[in-house]
Structure 1
Amino acid sequence: MNSGTAAKDQHESGAAAAAARPETLSVEDLSVHYGGVCAVRSISFTVEPGQSVGIIGANGAGKTSTLKALMGLVPRSGGRVRFGETDLAKVRARDVVRHGIGYVPEGRHVFPGLTVEKNLMLGAYARSWRDPATRRTLEEVYELFPVLGEMHGRLAGALSGGQQQMLAVGRALMAKPRLLLLDEPSMGLSPKLVEDILAVLVRLREEGLSLLLVEQNAKLTFEATSDCVVMENGEVAMTGTSRELREDVRVRRIYLGL
């Protein structure tokens, strides 16, 4: 093998290794201000590939602002956010999904005047809609949420709150993310539907999808995640495994009412 061929093979091998490198979400000293109000103050945490991390806290703790800052939906006033080798400060909000990050916003935000299937296909806007792989992903979403397959031609506005939440999660999964951010997926749902959402999150976790879950429902968070961050007044108050925090006396009193 000549040196030119060897160099080419080495370059291709290096490129393949880089492409296969799993991505870690790294948040360092992230801050968010709204005018003169500090919503998030110098928080740091990581989500390793395949890891499921929860963020719990009361209203106003800075949980939603954190997720929006990660997605570029609100300005970051300080800190660094990287996903693998990508500096997300250099990525426009509309392009974050192209780097492998999916987002399920608080309040679902489905398109009520479009059918369930069209809502889902909009989640695949960064992919080719004619690609057979996109259709396979759609079938995977229908397998995960059978009710969406049954109602694929129905307007999203006619769905129940729980069904719309399933639709919001399914729409995010259509982009085939490697990391999924979810903001209060249990909000406004009945206990039965909360259990259904939990089952889906556990399944996604077991399939190796990285998760970052923001929730007020600490019980759901501890069951769906391996590790957890507790936020208070825009700051990280505690971190640990979900099992450790679930047994912490202060956490049990404040967040579990025990």
Structure 2
Amino acid sequence: MRTTRTFPFRRPAAPAATPGSAATLTVDDLSVRYGGVRAVGSISFSVGPGESVGIIGANGAGKTSTLKALMGLVPRGGGSITLGGLDLTRVRARDMVRHGIGYVPEGRHVFPGLTVEKNLLLGAYARRWDAGTRATLAEVHQLFPVLGEMGQRLAGALSGGQQQMLSIGRALMSRPRILLLDEPSMGLSPKLVGEILSALTRLREEGMSLLLVEQNATLTFGATSHCLVMENGAVAMTGTSGELSRDVRVRRIYLGL
């Protein structure tokens, strides 16, 4: 039976750089180029406190490039990115977590030679080990019980779905103001996709700000309140997830029909 206990994820501490500011992510005219090739051109959107936004599109639409540009992992061609008033274009990628951004990369990228518990604790490297951090660890175990049960198992011995849960749990250990997820359903069975959807839905219900990049439109529509549909590096459509899930134009853009 589902517990009614409230997650602490809904009340993340404000980063020291912008104390007390609202955790609104604002992206304005962001562009990404690889050499002379434009991957993303002038994309704009925002994710408000407690809001969940999805970005869907076919392969090569520019979804992952957008997320990597937000994290500073690829060169930006222009535009502005702010979180609660902080200019993220001036923040190094390695410092993003200290400013309240949790990142779940495509392909999971857990540390296979370390235990599940150590992988999770690495997610809290920017925090002190205190009662608050221990409480966050307990909440991650509550969200994904298998991580608590397999705490001393090597991460490399987990299934793909369990590693995805570990990757999400590790990002949550920093108590992010917004969680960015890149293709969390990739390579997973329908059953495990359903479990990931349930976890993201629960985080959404508890007020976690989410930005989800996915090819799986069904998962995205279920886990988010609003969506952007990307095509050839640009935003082709925006709307509520419910509206877009019923729009025949999304099938044409997304599926090429």
Post-superposition CA distance 1:105-135 (Å, at most 9, x none): 000000000000000000011111x212111
Is the counterpart of residue 194 in structure 1 residue 193 in structure 2? Answer: yes
Does the aligned pair in 2 maintain the 1:218–1:256 contact within 8 Å? no
Does the aligned pair in 1 maintain the 2:57–2:253 contact within 8 Å? no
Stretches (4+) displaced over 4 A? none
Aligned residue number for residue 109 of structure 1: 109
Cα offset for 1:21?
A: 3.0
SS of the residue aligned with 2:33? Answer: strand
SS of the residue aligned with 2:76? Answer: coil
Aligned counterparts, 1:172-191, within 5 A: 172-191=171-190
Aligned residue number for residue 146 of structure 1: 145
In 2, distance between residues paired with 1:31 and 1:252? 25
TM-score of the superposed pair, with normalisation by structure 2: 0.91
Aligned residue number for residue 169 of structure 1: 168
Does the aligned pair in 1 maintain the 2:231–2:253 contact within 8 Å? no
In 2, distance between residues paired with 1:147 and 1:225? 25
Aligned residue number for residue 203 of structure 1: 202
Aligned residue number for residue 11 of structure 1: none
Does the aligned pair in 2 maintain the 1:112–1:158 contact within 8 Å? yes
Cα offset for 1:252?
A: 3.4
Is the counterpart of residue 60 in structure 1 residue 66 in structure 2? Answer: no
Q: Counterpart of 1:63 in structure 2: which amino acid? A: K
Cα offset for 1:255?
A: 3.9
Aligned residue number for residue 135 of structure 2: 136
Post-superposition CA distance 1:75-133 (Å, at most 9, x none): 111100000110001111111111111000000000000000000000011111x2121
Summarize the Cα distance change of 1:254–1:36 in structure 2 as closer, same or farther, 3 Å threshold. closer
Name the % identity. 77
In 2, distance between residues paired with 1:56 and 1:90? 27
TM-score of the superposed pair, with normalisation by structure 1: 0.90
Equivalent residues, number? 240
Aligned counterparts, 1:48-87, within 5 A: 48-87=48-87
List alignment gaps of at least 5 residues for structure 2. 1-17
Post-superposition CA distance 1:186-232 (Å, at most 9, x none): 01100000000000000000100000000000011011100000001
SS of the residue aligned with 1:221? Answer: helix
**RMSD in angstroms over aligned alpha carbons?**
1.3
Cα offset for 1:139?
A: 0.9
Does the aligned pair in 2 maintain the 1:219–1:256 contact within 8 Å? no
Greater fraction of residues in helix: 1
Aligned residue number for residue 123 of structure 1: 123
List alignment gaps of at least 5 residues for structure 1. 1-17
Aligned residue number for residue 212 of structure 1: 211
